Structure 1
Amino acid sequence: MAGLRERQKAARERRILEAASTQFRKSGYRAAKIEDIAEAAEVSVGTIYNYYQTKGDILIATVAMEDQEVIAAGARILEHPPERVGAALLALIYQYYDSSLKYLSKEMWRLAIAHSIENPLCPSGQRYAELDRQLAKQVTDLIRVLQHRGDIDPDLDVGSLGQLIFSAINQAFIGFVKVDDMTLHDLHALIASQIEPLATQIEADVGTQ
């Protein structure tokens, strides 16, 4: 019974977040009403407040739903990464980027990022920071896989390299959501222009490429 209740709770929360995503896109985050989200999710307003205290909490939870799906997809890339270092890194990065607008618009991302900066110590702010840590860890894990495979110099500091690459990924994404006219294709080209030279340098250090 406990397992069934947990599944029902998870399904209910997902309905709320999917309804919130739809309402935020339809009405705009600030204009969207909890009552409309509750009606679309077929739950009571009280039920929503059992899960979340504010709309900001709902927004960050929507980010979390997107990120968990992305991390799961990224794990499959780590199991069988492409042969070249650059191709492997970009496969993971493009997976992150291409899923980013599934639940959130650029406006919603801007608000989520601002919320996390303005409220770093609140639960939703800490949750956003933890999601970033999970993504950074996955990037680092991919580099470690490539290093173990012999594609990257064994003397390189995997942790520092992972943080450096994740910082570039994050900064490029922030630039993307700030500019409404910037497309995913533009974002791909921008990050490739940064990652490919770095990957080439790493491969050159191996001496076997």
Structure 2
Amino acid sequence: MAGLRERKKAATRKRILDCAAQMFRQDGYEASRIEDIAEAAELSVATFYNYFGSKADLLLAAVLEETAMVMDSVEACIGAPAATLEAAFGAIVGTYFEKSFQYTSRELWRMAVARTMLDPEAEFSRRYIAIDRELSDQLCRFLAGMQGRGLVRAGAEIDPAGRLLFNNVNMNFIEYMRASGMTAAEVRAKVMAESAPLLARLAG
């Protein structure tokens, strides 16, 4: 019975989050009310607060949900065959930007980043920073795997290189988030051009 209760709670939480993400995309974060989100999820407001303490908690949860989707897709890229390091990294970069703003939106990411700047010591900010660390660690694991497959030269310093690649991706993500007219293809090309010298050194 405990397992069934947990599954029901998880399903309810996901339903609230899906309704909120859809409403945030359609109406905007500020215009979306908790009462409307609860109604869309077919719950009372009191039940809503059993799952999320505030609309800001929903914002973080939506960002985390999308990030988890992206990370899962990147894991598939990491395990896929690749002829070169550049091709493998290019598949990952494409995934980053093609999967972004499908579950959330540029507005939600702007709100999330703004919150981390305004209150860097808040729990929200700490969890957001942890997301970046997980993404950076994932790229380091990617390079280690490429080294094991002979696509990164032996002796290359994996961790610093992985952090550098992620920092470049992250800075371009911020630009992509700000520039509403920028396409996923355009930002991918920019990241690949800027990463090319480091990729060449890694490939040796």
TM-score (norm 1): 0.92
Superposed displacement of residue 166, structure 1:
0.6
| Matched AA of 2:92 | L
Deviation per residue, 1:84-105 (Å, 9 max, x gap): 1011112112112111111111
Superposed displacement of residue 198, structure 1:
2.4
Contact 2:94 2:184 in 1 (8 A): no
Deviates more, 1:181-190 or 1:167-176: 181-190
In the other structure, the counterpart of 2:112 is 112
C-alpha distance in 2, partners of 1:8/1:197? 50
In the other structure, the counterpart of 2:99 is 99
In the other structure, the counterpart of 1:142 is 142
| Matched AA of 2:127 | R
Tell me the secondary structure at the aligned position of residue 49 of structure 2.
helix
Contiguous gaps of at least 5 residues in structure 2: none
In the other structure, the counterpart of 2:31 is 31
Superposed displacement of residue 120, structure 1:
2.8
Superposed displacement of residue 161, structure 1:
0.8
| Matched AA of 1:95 | T
Deviates more, 1:13-22 or 1:113-122: 113-122
In the other structure, the counterpart of 1:202 is 202
Q: Tell me whether 1:83 sits opposite 2:91 in the alignment.
A: no
In the other structure, the counterpart of 1:164 is 164
| Matched AA of 1:59 | L
C-alpha distance in 2, partners of 1:47/1:89? 44
Deviation per residue, 1:166-191 (Å, 9 max, x gap): 10010000001111111112111211
Deviation per residue, 1:93-152 (Å, 9 max, x gap): 211211111111111111111112323332222221111111111111100000111111
Contiguous gaps of at least 5 residues in structure 1: none
In the other structure, the counterpart of 2:49 is 49
Tell me the secondary structure at the aligned position of residue 50 of structure 1.
coil
Matches within 5 A, 1:5-20: 5-20=5-20
Deviation per residue, 1:41-88 (Å, 9 max, x gap): 112212222222222211110011111122122222222242210111
Tell me the C-alpha RMSD between the 2 structures. Answer: 1.4
Matches within 5 A, 1:185-200: 185-200=185-200
Count of aligned pairs: 204
C-alpha distance in 2, partners of 1:160/1:20? 38
Quote the sequence identity (%): 37
C-alpha distance in 1, partners of 2:23/2:199? 41
Q: Tell me whether 1:151 sits opposite 2:189 in the alignment.
A: no
C-alpha distance in 2, partners of 1:119/1:90? 34
Shift of the 4–120 alpha-carbon distance from structure 1 to 2, 3 Å rule, reads: farther
Contact 2:140 2:163 in 1 (8 A): yes
C-alpha distance in 2, partners of 1:197/1:14? 42
Q: Tell me whether 1:59 sits opposite 2:59 in the alignment.
A: yes
In the other structure, the counterpart of 1:68 is 68
